Structure 1
Amino acid sequence: MSNNHLPFIIAGPCSAESRQQVFQIARALKATGKVDIFRAGIWKPRTMPGTYEGPGDIGLQWLEDVQKELDIVVATEVATPNHVEKALKHNISTLWIGARTSVNPFSITELSHALSGTDTTILIKNPINADISLWIGAIERIKQAKIKKIMLIHRGFTSLHPAPYRYDPIWKIPIEIIKRYPDLPLLCDPSHISGNSLYIEQISQKALDLNMKGLMLEVHNDPINALVDQNQQITPTQFVEIIEHLKKRKENSTNQNYLEKLEELRGQIDKIDHELLHQLAHRKEIVTEIAKLKFQNNIGPLQLGRFQEICNARIKWGQALGLSQDMIEDLFTTIHEDAVKYQSDLMKTF
């Protein structure tokens, strides 16, 4: 992955609709000088039948022509070995695996076999389910196919409570992926996460702030009349405005005043964390006494009512202190689950 600008940008319509549409958008994006790869869906796996599912095979020729005539790398989504074979015949060697495919180990295995030995660039989107092991499994299967050029795409996850976005970003999952695969560029797909063009810029900035290397954006010449996903697509003009507003922040600084102040503040954090750990150790001592008391009275380690009471009270206390509900809920869920497991294991020794 190399370019003369940052971030790395993949852009184009959600779905190819006609040869004229594809060329019009590709020319507009090429003229910006800000796009590394032009994207367009050819086969669109829709949730419900009867909706537009892409142009099919004929669209491959449009993309091949764009690549040849405009001298820009093109990419499309593949979901089956048949898709891979057809795309490669049209010299489309940048392919992405979508969220509805990466969720299925059977599909990923078939694709890895079809891709084995090819000189392709593979973009792997996160599975639609918030299960990091599925994403890791997809990555490992593609790596086993000896694919040398792999990039990852964070596009959010299905959630019961994704508001205000279409898909929940659950940022801790892509952060963990960055830790596990520091050599694989991770990009963000703000179009799918947002489901609404109004949120694309803020999600894009968040992604860059988390050291993601680039963006995949859906750009359409006439979003209101697009055949799919009208709300999340932006015009080429909006695309330029968003990209120019984004700030690529530095990871480090050599400013001595900054470094000294940062070290001082981090020292305060270290001290607080040390105190927190001592308090957690003291909490565990009390949990030990609770386990003994429950054992003596033939009571199991888990009381769901108590767990809900803890969550509700701690969220209320935390919000009063300016802390986020999600952070408090995650923290005390982890603490409570560990306490229950500890009590359960301890009772076996009595």
Structure 2
Amino acid sequence: MEGRERFLETLLGVIKPQLQPYLERFQEVEELFDLADVVSVGENQLHHVVRMVELVSTLPEGVFEVLGITRDDLVTAVIFHDLGKGKEIDDRFFDASLVTKTRVPDLVRAFPGMKWVEWKSPLHDHVSRSVEIAFNYGIPEEIVEAIAMHHHVKIRPQVLDVVGDALRLSRFVRMDIISYNPEQYTAPGSTLAQVVAMLDQLCAIERKFRARINLTQEPHQIEDEVVRDLVIGVATASDPRLQVLDVSLTGNEPVVLLNLRAFRSFVKLHTEYEIQNLKISILQLIRSLLQAERSGRERDLVALIEGDAYAVIARGNDENYLKQMIARIADAVRVRTGFEIRYGYGFGGTIPENFHQARLQAEINKKPRFLLEKSR
């Protein structure tokens, strides 16, 4: 008992405060610690489970009331959902050439909608083992159902929005979750199952973006990626790519969003090479203008984030500075390319919040073409 108490005392000293109430729960499940020896897609699977529990711990109580589930049931489902994982999916042993579509195991087929789902062995085999372990622990069937369906349940937009609003997930992340592998996520299932599947996918998205750092890339390529990730909320001010760029952020910088007016018309009349060349040229132009104003660790960051949309992570909360920056960029782009700029900016919140504010403002500033022509 003394050793166990010392173990808990040590963990309490280093673990995040919001996870401390769940330490006893972790210790009650012996198989959980076997996941510490399993690494899948670059992530330690014990860390994966703990991260999901951490996300659950951040959800306000009102979310559970709206969804009609309990925090305790969700934590239980999360702790048990991957217990069946072993070396068959471990990066050190996994062989992608051996992945095949097979019949859904009988233990899983018993749950509604699971008879005809797309089952890939060995990728999904751990689900059946996790279900068996959960039953052995006497876990209630409604929770076991969530464990059984976490790779196949269809996530409903209403459920996604409730959890997404609580976790402040960006529109891009929500779209990534709702549209991921639709051939696989087809089974109608409980709200509890949907939330487990959602958190599982969210961790995968976090892992995907954390893994994007590549020190062999050019600095401008790293800047493009990290700005894109920061504004959609899948990276933070502590992202290691910022250290590579030798840039320091607080996480509350203003965001400016710039779009090219009438860009769709340009696309219809030009080749793909000409389109991409124009977009890159404008990006380089904006970056040069910004670097002329500020340099070093306090410089502004810019990226082409989608289509014809450029995002600038700026410094300071001076609205006049933002307007002057936008005016300089708009003038330069107009002189160089003939394109007018539609813009929006946001400040006063986190980077993703400011980006959302900038998008809303840019939409408000959007004018129909006939109004633009009339004003000239």
TM-score (norm 2): 0.21
Normalized per residue, the structure richer in helix is: 2
TM-score (norm 1): 0.23
